[in-house]
Amino acid sequence: MTQAVDDDTGAKEAQARRVTNRDVAAELALVADILQILDANRFRVIAFQNAAESVRTLSQDLHTLHAEGKLQSIQGVGKGIADAIAEFLTHGKVAEFEELKAQVPAGVVEMIHVPDVGPKTAKRLWQELGVTSVAELRAAAEAGRIRVLKGFGEKSEQKILRGIELAARRTRDRTNIGAARPLALGVVEALRERVAEGAIARLEIAGSLRRWKETIGDVDILVVSATPQPVMEAFGTLPQVVSVLGQGETKSSIVLGDGLRVDLRVVEPQHWGAALQYFTGSKEHNVALRELALKQGWSLNEYSLTATGEGEAPTGETRYFEEEQALYEFLGLAWIAPELRENRGEIAAAAARTLPDLITADCIRGELHGHSTWSDGTASIAEMAEAARARGYRYWAVCDHSTGLGMVGGLDAARLAAQAAEIAELNARWEAAGVDFRLLRGIEVEILSDGTLGLPDEVLAELDVVVASIHSGLRQERATITARCLRAVRNPHVDILGHATGRLIGTREPSDLDMEAVLAACAETGTVVEINAHPSRLDVNDVYARRAVELGCKLAINCDAHEVDGMAVLPYGVAVARRAWVTAADVVNTRSWDDVRGLLKDRRR
DNA sequence: GCCGTTTTCGGCCCGACTGTTTTCAGTCG
């Protein structure tokens, strides 16, 4: 359809079409920062922060919701913010926000992202010293110009310089879980080695790592110890430590070499349940839980419940919980798995006893996407199969790249036939030996730029499993890449849509796909949606996986292994599924191959 | 600015640590 563009309205609207959920979330967060510096009502600030977070984790596209007049259905978005979002979507900016931005230099907003510099500090340094950027902040601190201000001293300057240093050290705000988890486990191991036998009675990694969030802000370690002091000292002097941010009687913070911050908290045994709950979060879950407690007449903190006098218990009565589950039960809730604690309906479900029976890693009976030296893998098919068997799998699909992905020397029909002979030979050997394991013939077929596939249909039809993925042209415009993806999904031979958005966490943005349309098409055609378990991908993510199941899709959790150790990432994929409220029944590769085959699209084999 | 098995108005979670103070504000989680 073509339309005359007779003024700049059309151009603006064309530009506005490129506004993404992420853009809106960033804008709302920026407004929250500015409002903080301007010392606005703190609840107004929180409202913008909440709205930003809701938009950021939204599964549906804002443009769609706007067109349907449903912006206010987003949690934390009322009339005011809905109107602002609508204005941003159509015009690319919001008049009211532009006025706010004009009041505070962008560099001052950046300053509040320096650790230990908050809105109050940034505002004073800006207004009293004329500091308007992080660079100027560093210069002022180095020149000793900050200590002259009332309430600041030499240590304040050092703290600011250290904050700038730490901010520069970390390449991004959050660390990928695939990097953070081994680092955290290493800290725990080193800590245990350096304290006396029995000094640590209980220990758990809490925080976003316990919730298996895809990126980790910092690591929270919770400990019960009769002798906290030596534990604290050992923690502060671990070999991994590059900086000690603080050390008190019950709380210490350190920074590791790559900038990851680790907090250690020591609590008494009777506080364990409340403390573990508290430090596991999320903040949003905790706020909702405390509100629920207040309605029942109890104030909740990291130690206990204390009666407010509003309920039946006398004011000041205190309840302690040695286990987390007892705390949840006291509030009338089933225990909630950490992965669900994001305030996405889990508290209501726990109250109604309708929480899902979440999938676990040992439910996985085989995988439907992995590579070998036939394309860009580092191990032979036989080696990969042995690794799969060692993990207790009953089947593993050899899905090397097809032609159409130049750099990895993908398989054409002839090489695929040659590969089939190798697979058949291995399968025959196991069958003769009575081994309950089989390799599946598969392909990771390239979705070409127009939505056609890297191999012809008649070749795909012979295979057990066809995974279709996009590896290039990821930056195509929304309508183009969506149509391309839909065409592949509608191919009757495509069983699984591989790593749909193509994102690489922290380094490559997801494609601008209309995921609602893609997932709906997967549901309609019976195309299985992959959760790619590689921690740099985790694609689809928890939000889309949950939406996929809501729309009626089946999922597959695949490691996309390129080496024998590549199957070790399975827990990350399972965690995405758990965060998406997924049960074993939603995931095809929790079943035997005979059952999986019946669920796949192409039934002509 | 948002929101409602207390409410369309009046709430909106709670504590540790730090640095600079002589009682607390700021920051963070």
Residues A16 and A64 in one domain: yes
Residues A295 and A234 in one domain: no
Residues A291 and A390 in one domain: no
Residues A347 and A206 in one domain: no
Domain CATH number, residue A462: 3.20.20.140
**Per-residue pLDDT at A8 exceeds 60:** no
Q: How far apart are CA A518 and CA A451, in angstroms?
A: 13
Query: How much of chain A exceeds pLDDT 70, in percent?
Result: 95
User: Strand B nucleotides below 7 A of a protein CB?
Assistant: 1-3, 5-6, 11-21, 25-29
Task: Say if residue A60 is exposed, middle or buried (CB neighbours under 10 Å; 0-12, 13-18, 19+).
Answer: middle
**Per-residue pLDDT at A597 exceeds 90:** yes
Query: How much of chain A exceeds pLDDT 90, in percent?
Result: 69
Strand nucleotide closest to residue A163 (CA to C1'): B27
Cα within 13 Å of Cα(A223), Cβ side = 25
Q: Has residue A605 been placed in a domain?
A: no
Residues A288 and A253 in one domain: no
Domain CATH number, residue A152: 1.10.150.20
Q: Has residue A557 been placed in a domain?
A: yes
List, as own/partner pairs, every contact residues A101-104 make where C-beta atoms lie below 8 angstroms and the sequence separation is at least 24, other chains included: A101/A30, A101/A34, A103/A34, A103/A38, A104/A34, A104/A37, A104/A38
Question: Does residue A261 lie within 7 Å of nucleic acid chain B, judged by its CB?
Answer: yes
Give the strand pairing for A395-398 and A438-446.
parallel
* Model pLDDT for residues A179-211, shown as the tens digit of each residue: 899 999 999 999 999 998 889 999 999 999 999
Collapse the DSSP code of A472 into the 3-class scheme (helix H, G, I; strand E, B; otherwise coil) and give the result. coil
- String of DSSP letters for A483-510: HHHHHHHTSTT--EE-STT--BTTTBPP
Q: Running DSSP on this structure, what letter comes out for residue A527?
A: P
Query: Which two structure tokens, joined as six digits, stand for A427?
Result: 């399968």
Q: How far apart are CA A106 and CA A122, in angstroms?
A: 12
Indicate the residue among A267, A299, A327 that finishes a domain. Answer: A267
pLDDT number for residue A6: 39
What average pLDDT score do residues A591-597 get? 95
Residue A311 belongs to what domain range? 272-351
Q: Of A550, A562, A557, which is closest to residue A528 (Cα–Cα)?
A: A557
Q: Which of residues 93-132 of A touch strand B (CB under 7 A)?
A: 112, 114-122
Strand nucleotide closest to residue A291 (CA to C1'): B13
Region of poorest pLDDT, from A164-178, A221-235, A485-499, A547-561: A164-178
Residue carrying structure tokens 């809501």: A550
Task: Say if residue A402 is exposed, middle or buried (CB neighbours under 10 Å; 0-12, 13-18, 19+).
Answer: buried
pLDDT number for residue A223: 94
Q: How far apart are CA A123 and CA A36, in angstroms?
A: 9
Query: Which two structure tokens, joined as six digits, stand for A323?
Result: 């286990």
Residues A553 and A405 in one domain: yes
Q: How far apart are CA A311 and CA A329, in angstroms?
A: 17
Question: Does residue A167 lie within 7 Å of nucleic acid chain B, judged by its CB?
Answer: no
* CB-based contact A374:A398 (threshold 8 Å): yes
Residues A59 and A126 in one domain: no
Collapse the DSSP code of A311 into the 3-class scheme (helix H, G, I; strand E, B; otherwise coil) and give the result. coil
First to last CA, chain A: 42
Indicate the residue among A238, A267, A296 that finishes a domain. Answer: A267
- Rounded to 5 degrees, what are φ and ψ at A11? -65, -45
Residues A376 and A339 in one domain: no
Q: How far apart are CA A558 and CA A397, in angstroms?
A: 10
Residues A462 and A412 in one domain: yes
* Model pLDDT for residues A372-415, shown as the tens digit of each residue: 999 989 899 999 999 999 999 999 999 999 987 655 578 999 99
Q: Of A441, A445, A444, A461, which is closest to residue A395 (Cα–Cα)?
A: A441
* CB-based contact A83:A16 (threshold 8 Å): no
Q: Has residue A604 been placed in a domain?
A: no
Angle at CA of residue A217, ends A212 and A218, nearest 5° = 90
Q: How far apart are CA A554 and CA A311, in angstroms?
A: 45
**Which residues lie closer than 8 Å to A176 by C-beta, 6 or more apart?**
A214, A215, A216, A505, A506, A535, A536
- Rounded to 5 degrees, what are φ and ψ at A578? -65, -40
Q: Which of A107-116, A222-231, A249-258, A480-489 has the highest mean pLDDT?
A: A480-489
C1’ B23 / CA A151, Å: 14
Question: Does residue A243 lie within 7 Å of nucleic acid chain B, judged by its CB?
Answer: no
A171 pLDDT tier (thresholds 50, 70, 90): low
pLDDT number for residue A17: 53
Residues A556 and A465 in one domain: yes
* CB-based contact A387:A416 (threshold 8 Å): no
Indicate the residue among A88, A104, A120 that finishes a domain. Answer: A104
Model confidence, pTM: 0.85
pLDDT number for residue A170: 63
**Per-residue pLDDT at A533 exceeds 50:** yes
pLDDT number for residue A601: 79
pLDDT number for residue A584: 98
Q: Has residue A356 been placed in a domain?
A: no
Burial readout A520-534 (b: 16 or more C-beta within 10 A, e: otherwise): bbbbebbbbbbbbbb
Residues A11 and A86 in one domain: yes
* Model pLDDT for residues A98-154, shown as the tens digit of each residue: 999 999 999 999 999 888 899 999 999 999 999 999 999 999 999 999 998 888 988
The count of structural domains within chain A is 5
Q: Of A97, A128, A112, which is closest to residue A24 (Cα–Cα)?
A: A97
Residue type for A236, please?
G
Q: Of A273, A184, A269, A188, which is closest to residue A231 (Cα–Cα)?
A: A188
The per-residue pLDDT of chain A, averaged, comes to: 90
Cis, peptide link before residue A282, omega less than 30° from 0: yes
* Model pLDDT for residues A339-361, shown as the tens digit of each residue: 999 988 899 999 999 999 999 99
* CB-based contact A327:A277 (threshold 8 Å): yes
- Rounded to 5 degrees, what are φ and ψ at A368? -120, 20
Question: Does residue A429 lie within 7 Å of nucleic acid chain B, judged by its CB?
Answer: no
Question: Does residue A202 lie within 7 Å of nucleic acid chain B, judged by its CB?
Answer: no
Question: Does residue A33 lie within 7 Å of nucleic acid chain B, judged by its CB?
Answer: no
Residues A338 and A414 in one domain: no
